[in-house]
Chains A and B, each alone.
Chain A
Amino acid sequence: MALLEIKNLHASVAGKEILKGITLKLQPGEVHAIMGPNGTGKSTLSNVIAGREGYEVTKGEVYLDGQDVLAMAADERARAGIFLAFQYPVEIPGVTTSAFLKTALNAKRRAEGKPEIDAMDFLKLVKAKTAALGMPYDMIKRALNVGFSGGEKKRAEVLQMTMLEPRVAILDETDSGLDIDALKIVSEGVNSLRSPDRAFLVITHYQRLLYYIVHDHVHVLANGRVVASGGKELALELEAEGYAKYLDAAA
């Protein structure tokens, strides 16, 4: 069974159809890249999978390990193992990163029938994970994303991912706004999480992330549809030739 299965997904925002029939299958262990020009529905797809309100699914299904994802509330989806690294993480004043991480981690542990994490173990874990991502440990004392630079926000997203160890991680343009060093660190974060029972959906606008993240499949999204799928060579072709040919085809 596919780990994440998206079947003929149609979704509208404010009465306007954005996703026009998307079908994707992510097997355990796979990394899929989704590329496409701006405004084609990449973020819409990730938001619909994560359960954001305001999107109306008009047709189609999404399954996580056979479970009906669309029937679950957003928080249930996350506890079931879906993780979305946001393209634009929100700033939440007053809530420290550490309180947030602990609450999120404990929500997951509770769902798994485990006790809450001990305070010392939590600090140790954060120390190890921040160090691996080249982040100062002190950042967990700051309010969540508040005053973080674009790059810091993206790293914070990856930190959350490595702490929560999801089953399916969707990274929505996590590479945008990162310099090469940060890009490498973020990619290492993803590569380190790669495992036979986890899958990734890596959304990106640029080929360059795919130099660092080892990926198996590439899909081109244009005008709410998957217009091409292939292997690594497709990403290289897109880099050389651009999206023009697919845009014409999708229009």
Chain B
Amino acid sequence: MKPSLITTHPFGEAYAKSLGVAPWRGHLPGPKVEEWRFTPLRNLAKIAFAPAAINVSVDIIPRTVPVIQGAARLVLVNGAYRKDLSDANLGKGIELSHGKVPAKEGSSLIALNAAYAPASLALHVTGAVKKIIHIISIGAAEVAPAALHPRITITAETSSSVTLVESHVGLPGETYFSNPVASITVGEGASVRRYVSVDEDNEAFHLATSLVKVAGDGNYEAFHLGLGGALTRQEVRVALTGENANVRLNGAYALNGTSHHDITTVIDHLLPNCTSSQVFKGVVDGESHGVYQGRIHVARDAQKTDARQLHKALFLSRGPAIDCKPELEIYADDVQCAHGAATGEIDPNHLFYLAARGIDPETARDLLVEGFLADAVNEISDEAVRAVFGAAIGQWLKLRQARPS
């Protein structure tokens, strides 16, 4: 199918020319592009974003960024690395460099990122890295709407291991559009854990693409938390390119107001004996909209594949909408695939049980919501990060309560 495009894209081609880069070839995907059917970009396309300034003055890390004890900190402001805000003492087995952004290939968003990303934050992992590496991407639009294009490249060599946390946040000011791209290569027998938190400004847009390749015996574990932003999408594409490779992709989101959050996953099982599992859970309130699309592709050679996928959403009111689209494309015959999807509301019997123990309805609801999301959060194998992400959800619930509805 030919993609339909929104042709009036917000980045003047003249500007691209003035930068000396080739004009951005692609455009934003329109509503007729199947993968974007549930996430229309009309509102994004209406705003004239200027490329975000690299030299904005930011001297503190926003308070919404969780503190991870003992972690190294790498800070990007508007996509550019900020040494002054970072603590790049990474320890052994890992090296940081600021690489060239690879040629423009892939989707139009990746091409857009490639055209504008200042540099790629590249981490080369060769050993068992002890410290958690915390990457913080800050969007700062100041006086005019701005677009930023963070680029992250992780290369984990054979048998190496690393744990990464990514926090995507913004500063108050004009609206911004963050278009991060992460390329992750998990080498043979290597292990990469990546925990992403998207807690953007209420007005902000965030369309992230993660491209992951996992070699034989490699393990990739990721968690994608969605807590804030007007329109956010976390698209994760994973190719299992060697035998006995495993991917665990999990996530949770909590939405209110009119915010829109989209999780799109594509898992490519290419060779035998690989496993993939996904647990995504979301709570929706207000007039929000949650999307989960999960495609599992099992190639003909990928015998003994074990692929599982689960998405569950909890409605806190009648206003929100959920779109869930699981897709299984299975070409091998000896495989185990399971997918489940469910939506529901809080069980009044649960509420009564808690009330009968003296717990007021608001607190009871928060406890049940946290309990609902816990299934997903408990998939985070790093204990410290699990606690931090759990606390972020608790905080979201508190703030939600503080707002008059």
Contacts and interface: CB of A to CB of B under 8 A. Distances in A.
A75 B361 CA distance: 8
Nearest to B353: A90
A107 B350 contact: no
Contacts, number: 80
A94 B375 contact: yes
A94 B372 contact: yes
Q: How large is the interface on A (under 10, 10 to 19, 20 to 34, 35 or more residues)?
A: 20 to 34
Interface in A63-119: 73-75, 78-79, 83-84, 86, 89-90, 92-95, 99-100, 103-104, 107-108, 111
B352 A53 contact: yes
Contact of A50 (B350, B356, B363, B372): B356
A6 B141 CA distance: 65
Nearest to B369: A94
A51 interface: yes
A164 B368 contact: no
Interface string A163-174: 010000000000
Given A90-B350, A107-B360, A95 B368 contact: yes
Given A52-B352, A53-B348, A107-B363, A92 B371 contact: yes
Contacts of B356: 50-52, 74-75, 78, 83-84, 86
A94 B371 contact: yes
A95 B353 CA distance: 12
Contact of A92 (B353, B355, B363, B373): B353
A160 interface: yes
Interface residues of B, number: 24
A100 B348 contact: no
Contacts of B61: none
A107 B372 contact: no
A52 B348 CA distance: 10
Contacts of A53: 348, 352
B397 to A, nearest CB: 13
Nearest to A50: B356
A78 B358 contact: yes
A207 B34 CA distance: 67
B377 to A, nearest CB: 9
Query: Which residue, of B354, B372, B373, has the highest number of chain A Cβ atoms within 10 A?
Result: B354
Contact of A111 (B358, B363, B368): B358
Given A53-B348, A107-B360, A107-B363, A94 B373 contact: yes
B353 A89 contact: yes
B67 interface: no
Given A53-B352, A94-B372, A164 B358 contact: yes
A214 interface: no
Given A90-B350, A92-B368, A99-B367, A104 B357 contact: yes
B355 A78 contact: yes
Contacts of B361: 73, 75
A51 B355 contact: yes
A74 B375 contact: no
Contacts of B21: none
A143 interface: yes
A100 B363 CA distance: 11
B350 A92 contact: yes
B359 A107 contact: yes
Contact of A100 (B347, B357, B375): B357
B57 interface: no
A127 to B, nearest CB: 20
A15 to B, nearest CB: 19
Query: Which residue, of B357, B361, B370, has the highest number of chain A Cβ atoms within 10 A?
Result: B357
Given A100-B367, A108-B358, A164-B358, A94 B374 contact: yes
Contacts of B405: none
A99 to B, nearest CB: 7
7 contacts: A50-B356, A78-B359, A94-B371, A94-B372, A94-B375, A100-B354, A100-B357
Given A92-B371, A99-B370, 10 more contacts: A50-B356, A75-B354, A75-B355, A75-B358, A92-B368, A94-B374, A94-B375, A95-B370, A104-B358, A143-B371
